[in-house]
């Protein structure tokens, strides 16, 4: 990786509290364009909160957070910068969060039309191309509830990609899926990683993490305990907490 | 005096042409009031969930006052009380529409609040994560879904308000009950006439129920 490239995400001493709970502790993290970062850790470790800070769905209280050349302010006081960041940062959620009142195609065209001011015709073409890319072009006129979970999540991916994001966040994208549908979503993400998309992925799919990640970050109780290339982190974890966590999740 | 307990069907049927002129008034007051009440309800319903505390208080005050006092007192206050303040009379139709509006507005505020709050947090997050502004997220994502969920309770409120207009006979507006009273004053066939009045209300509310269930099914088709 080119050391001189400006990081697309840069966190310095980021701290977040939920009331008396200290969820993120002095997080230092820089993500380079093109990098695929996988965040792992036990539930409640703060890994989802960490990536939700990047697009301002969670506020933080102290520290510096720069995303795509803009700065996010503590306590959610970022105003216009936040919306600008969100137009450049896509997100895929655990529960898909498709808009149930809109057709699959309209789910994908909504933001390009409303936010980018794209014309309807162009937005439709882009949507159909993206839906084809994730393998659901024949479902474009259906409503989300008529699709399987795996299909819905692929629509959610197409919806985010329609904004041509510079960074994609994935918050446990396969955790709500039936086992037989996990593969199709991971395939679509693998494709995206191959094309050079910058991605931050929170997941429990360790084999997938090992395969696509440039870097794996292990979070424990709101702190980055250990990070490194997947071979290093999975095969020779340095920290005993990482070892304990991996032995628990890799056992089955 | 001959006291008969037999229901006189002929008298009941004869009363119909005398009652029918009340229906347009009943409908006008109900739906005129409900239309304004819907606007009031959206306004105070959204204030009720505003992040600004004074706005929430304002909405709570409105809702508590108009939900916590009888609609009969409200219409009497508007028709007899307000003219003292305004220095001129208010016609009975206006007073009736206003009473339905402020009263249903209080209930509809709560319906709007419930509808909006019932939409999963993830919907707003997804909309914001795509770069939509807060108001776009509300208009394009939250509100259309909330509106669909509001259809059943709104229908319920419409039926309640339609029946509430029967109280407005006290201010002399020529709605269904008032027409019945006028007719009874000459025929003394109270049982038959009020029976027909009740049937006519039922015809209105039942029709509305059917329309609503159709609308509900259509509205839910997308989900």
Q: What's the pLDDT tens digit per position in A203-251? A: 999 999 999 999 999 999 999 999 999 999 999 999 999 999 999 988 7
What is d(CA B157, CA B164) in angstroms, rounded to the nearest whole number? 10
The nearest CA of chain A is from the CA of B125 a distance in Å of: 7
Do residue B145 and residue A101 have CB atoms under 8 angstroms apart?
yes
Residue A153, Cβ density class (10 Å: 0-12 exposed, 13-18 middle, ≥19 buried): buried
CB–CB contact B133 A87 (8 Å): no
C-beta atoms of A57 and B125 within 8 A: yes
- The answer to whether the CB atoms of A159 and B145 lie below 8 A apart is no
| Cα nearest neighbour of B120 on chain A | A97
A243 touches chain B (CB under 8 A): no
Answer yes or no: is pLDDT of A3 > 70: no
Within an 8 Å CB–CB cutoff, is residue A102 touching chain B?
Answer: yes
Q: Encode chain B in three state secondary structure.
A: CCCCCCCCHHHHHHHHHHHCCHHHHHHHHHHHHHHHHHHHHHHHHHHHCCCCHHHHHHHHHHHHHHHCCCHHHHHHHHHHHHHHHHCCCCCHHHHHHHHHHHHHHHHHHHHHHHHHHCCCHHHHHHHHHCCCCHHHHHHHHHHHHHHHHHHHHHHHHHHHHHHHHHHHHHHCCCCHHHHHHHHHHHHCCHHHHHHHHHHHHHHHHHHHHHHHHHHHHHHHCCC
pLDDT attached to residue A78: 82
How confident is the model at residue A251, as a pLDDT?
72
| Res. B5: pLDDT tops 70 | no
pLDDT digits (tens, 9 = 90+) for B85-113: 998 999 999 999 999 999 999 999 999 99
Average of per-residue pLDDT across A111-126? 96
What percentage of chain A exceeds 70 in pLDDT?
98
Q: Is the pLDDT of residue B184 over 90?
A: yes
Q: How far does the CA of residue A26 sit from the closest CA of chain B (Å)? A: 25
Rounded Cα distance between A210 and A236, Å, is: 13
Q: What is the pTM of this model?
A: 0.89
Residue A1: what pLDDT? 47
Residue-level pLDDT at B215: 87
A164 Ramachandran zone, left/alpha/beta (phi>0; psi -120 to 50): left
Laid out side by side, the sheet with A70-72 consists of A21-31, A9-18, A62-67, A70-72
pLDDT at A162: 97
Q: Select the residue of B122, B132, B223 nearest A97 (Cβ to Cβ).
A: B122
Handedness of CA B215, B217, B220, B222 (dihedral sign): negative
Average pLDDT of span A184-192? 95
pLDDT digit string, tens, across residues A29-52: 999 999 999 999 999 899 999 999
Residue of B123, B129, B222 lying closest to A86 (CB–CB): B129
Q: For chain B, say whether A100 makes contact (Cβ under 8 Å).
A: yes
A157-163: average pLDDT? 97
- Alpha-carbon distance of A35 to A50, in angstroms, equals 17
Query: Average model confidence (pLDDT) for chain B?
Result: 94
B118 touches chain A (CB under 8 A): no
State pLDDT tens for residues B133-148.
999 999 999 999 999 9
* Contact B51/A at CB under 8 A: no
The answer to whether the Cβ–Cβ distance between A114 and B136 falls below 8 Å is yes
Chain B residues within an 8 Å CB radius of A176: none
pLDDT over 90 at A153, yes or no: yes
Q: What is the CA radius of gyration of chain B?
A: 21
The three-point CA angle B174-B180-B181 to 5° equals 85
Contact B127 A57 (CB under 8 A): no
Report the distance separating Cα B110 and Cα A94, nearest Å.
Answer: 31
Q: Which of B125, B130, B141 sits opposite A115 (nearest CB)?
A: B130
Q: Is the separation of the CB atoms in A151 and A158 below 8 Å?
A: no
pLDDT of residue B47: 97
> What gap in Å lies between CA A213 and CA B93, rounded to an integer?
72
Model pLDDT for residues B160-169, shown as the tens digit of each residue: 999 999 999 9
pLDDT range class, residue A79, cuts 50, 70, 90 = confident
Question: How far is residue A37's CA from residue A213's CA, in Å, rounded to a whole number?
Answer: 6
Q: What is the ipTM of this complex?
A: 0.94
Say whether pLDDT at B52 is over 70. Answer: yes
Give the distance from residue A10's alpha carbon to the nearest chain B alpha carbon, in angstroms.
19
Cα-Cα-Cα-Cα dihedral sign, residues A106, A200, A57, A87: negative
Distance CA A90, CA A161 (A): 7
């Amino acid at each position: 990786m080119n050391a001189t490239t400006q990081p697309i995400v840069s966190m310095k001493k980021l701290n977040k509290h939920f009331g008396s709970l200290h969820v993120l502790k002095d997080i230092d993290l820089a993500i380079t364009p093109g990098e695929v970062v996988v965040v792992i850790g036990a539930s409640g470790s703060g890994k989802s909160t960490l990536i939700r800070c990047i697009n301002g769905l969670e506020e933080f209280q102290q520290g510096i957070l720069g995303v795509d050349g803009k700065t996010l302010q503590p306590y959610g006081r970022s105003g216009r910068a936040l919306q600008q960041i969100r137009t450049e940062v896509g997100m895929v959620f655990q529960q898909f969060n498709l808009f149930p009142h809109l057709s699959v195609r309209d789910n994908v065209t909504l933001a390009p039309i409303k936010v980018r001011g794209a014309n309807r015709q162009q937005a439709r073409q882009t949507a159909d191309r993206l839906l084809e890319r994730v393998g659901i072009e024949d479902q474009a006129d259906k409503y989300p509830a008529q699709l399987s979970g795996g299909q819905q999540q692929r629509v959610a991916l197409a919806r985010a990609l329609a904004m041509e994001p510079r960074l994609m966040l994935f918050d446990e994208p396969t955790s709500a899926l039936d086992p037989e549908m996990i593969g199709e979503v991971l395939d679509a993400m693998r494709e995206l990683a191959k094309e050079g998309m910058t991605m931050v992925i929170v997941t429990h799919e360790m084999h997938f993490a090992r395969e696509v990640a440039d870097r794996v970050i292990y979070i424990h109780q709101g702190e980055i305990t250990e990070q490194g290339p997947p071979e290093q982190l999975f095969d020779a974890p340095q920290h005993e907490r990482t070892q304990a966590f991996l032995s628990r999740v890799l056992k089955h | 005096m001959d006291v008969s307990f037999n229901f006189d069907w002929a008298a009941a049927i004869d009363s119909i042409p005398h009652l029918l002129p009340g229906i347009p008034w009943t409908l006008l007051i109900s739906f005129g009031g409900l239309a304004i009440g819907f606007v009031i309800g959206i306004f105070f319903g959204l204030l009720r969930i505003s992040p600004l505390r004074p706005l929430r208080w304002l909405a709570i005050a409105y809702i508590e006052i108009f939900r916590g006092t009888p609609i009969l007192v409200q219409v009497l206050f508007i028709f007899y009380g307000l003219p003292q303040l305004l220095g001129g009379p208010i016609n009975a139709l206006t007073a009736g529409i206003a009473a339905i509006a402020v009263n249903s507005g209080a209930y509809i505020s709560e319906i709007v609040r419930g509808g909006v709050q019932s939409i999963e947090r993830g919907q707003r997050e997804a909309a914001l994560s795509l770069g939509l502004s807060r108001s776009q997220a509300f208009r394009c994502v939250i509100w259309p879904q909330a509106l669909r969920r509001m259809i059943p309770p709104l229908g319920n409120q419409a039926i309640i308000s339609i029946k509430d207009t029967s109280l407005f006979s006290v201010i002399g507006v020529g709605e269904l009950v008032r027409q019945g009273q006028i007719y009874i004053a000459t025929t003394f066939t109270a049982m038959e006439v009020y029976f027909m009045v009740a049937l006519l209300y039922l015809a209105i509310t039942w029709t509305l129920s059917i329309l609503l269930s159709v609308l509900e099914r259509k509205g839910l088709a997308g989900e």
